[in-house]
Amino acid sequence: MTATDNREAFLNGIAEKLGRERRRTGVVRPERVHNIADETLVGKTQDELLVIAKEACSRIHTDVVETTVAELAAHIEKIATNYGNESVLIADDPRFGEFGLQNLADNAWHDCSVSIWKEGRENRAANIATAADANIAIAFADFLLAESGSVVVESSPKQGRTLHFLPVHYIAIVPKSKIVPRSTQAADYYDARIASGQEIGSSINFISGPSNSGDIEMQLVVGVHGPISVTYVVVTDK
C-alpha cells in the first residue's frame, strides 16, 4: 500500500457518490469574492505585529518572552526552571546550534535531563513514551500568527506531532521575522512548497497556547488535549 492509496479511495468514493468521473485536469481554483484573508493586518511592521501577537496571547493564557540570540539560552533556562526542569524533549533541529543552544542539544543543561526526538519508524513507540514522560518540550516554530497568537509547526521525521502535545509544558522559539499577520501567510508558504514539488510533513499544526476545553457549563479545563502551559520566545534579532 502506498502513501496515497487511502486518498485515492476516498476521492474515488466521493466521485462515485456525485455520479461522475474524477476530474484530474483543468481544475481551476475559484477566485475569492472578498480578499479579507489577504488584507487583514497587511502592511504592519514586525514591531506592530509583535504587539498584536502579544495582545492575542494574553487572551489565550500564553506567555511571550522577547530576547536576543545572545540572551536566548539564559531565558530558556529561566523558563525551564520556572516549569520545574526535570525532563526535557527537543526536536532534532540544527537551529538549536545556530541559536546558541548547543548545550541543550548536548544534554549539558543544568538540572535537566534532555532527550532528542529520534528519527525513524523503529523509534516511534520510544518517542511517544519519551514525550509522554517529558515535563517540557522545546521546539522552533515556523511562524507566529499575530491575529490569533498561534504558532505553526510542521511535523517531520525529526519532530513528530506528539512532541508538541504530550509534554506538560511547551516552549516555542520563533524568530521575530517569522511573525505574520494570520494563517493566510502560513498557508501560502506551504502551498508554494507543494507547488514547487517539495514534500511537507504529515501534519501542519496550529498551536494556540495551552490546551483548553470547556463543557456545556462553561467550566474551563486546561491540559486535557495538550500542554497545561505554553511560552513563546520571540528572538528579536532573527
User: CATH number, domain at 195?
Assistant: 3.40.50.10420
Residue 141 corresponds to which amino acid? Answer: A
Please tell me the distance from the alpha carbon of residue 7 to that of residue 48, in angstroms, as a whole number.
Answer: 41
- Please check whether residue 39 lies inside any domain of the structure: no
- pTM for the model stands at 0.83
In a domain, 72, yes or no: yes
Q: Is residue 158 part of a domain?
A: yes
- pLDDT for 110: 75
Whether residue 33 lies inside any domain: the answer is: no
Return the pLDDT at 2: 62
Say how many domains are in the chain: 1
Average pLDDT, the chain: 90
- Structure confidence at residue 150 (pLDDT): 95
Would 37 be classed as within a structural domain?
no
Is 88 a domain residue? yes
At 213, the pLDDT band (50, 70, 90 cuts) reads: confident
Q: Residue 129: which domain range? A: 44-235
- Alpha helices by DSSP H, 19-160: 36-39, 46-59, 69-82, 95-98, 102-105, 124-133
Residue 215: is its pLDDT beyond 70?
no
Inside any domain, residue 164 = yes
pLDDT band at 43 (very low <50, low <70, confident <90, very high): confident
Phi, psi of 116 (to 5 degrees): -115, 135
pLDDT per residue as tens digits for the range 67-126: 999 999 999 999 999 999 889 999 999 999 999 998 888 877 777 889 999 999 999 999
Say yes or no to pLDDT of 55 above 90. yes
How far is the C-alpha of 107 from the C-alpha of 128, rounded, in Å?
19
pLDDT at 217 exceeding the cut of 80: no
What is residue 24's predicted lDDT score, i.e. its pLDDT? 84
Residue 229 lies in a domain: yes
